[in-house]
Amino acid sequence: MSTDSVEELQNGRDAHGIQAIMLADFDLGVTDAFGLRNTLFHSAPPSDEQEALPVPATLLVDRDGTVLWMEISENYQRRSGPEVVLAAIEEHLG
């Protein structure tokens, strides 16, 4: 889920070989439904048309739609590596 346009998503898919479903949330409607809009300083390049961005977040959701695990980045300059997500998957799903 990102604020990219559909065209940017397609370019990203081609450039990075992404196999996951990519969704465009350019009006932050989904971000707001999850309550993940950043409420602090909007630090983005002046060329960025977005007036707000989601806080980087990862959610693991069970088959019945229940959130099993989630991680929210308190700082956009620091992100957990994939090993954190893999460990969460292993812990919650065996």
**Residues forming the site for another protein (CB under 8 A):** 1-4, 6, 8-13, 15-16, 20-25, 29-31, 33-41, 43, 53-70, 72-79, 81, 85, 89, 93
CB of 86 vs another protein, minimal distance in Å: 10
How far apart (Å, rounded) are the C-alpha atoms in residues 73 and 80? 8
Say if residues 31 and 44 touch (Cβ distance below 8 Å): no
CB of 39 vs another protein, minimal distance in Å: 5
Say if residues 23 and 12 touch (Cβ distance below 8 Å): no
Kindly give, in sequence order, each residue whose CB lies less than 8 Å from that of residue 31, ignoring residues fewer than 6 positions away.
1, 3, 25, 37, 54
CB of 3 vs another protein, minimal distance in Å: 7
**Closer to another protein by Cβ: residue 39 or 51:** 39
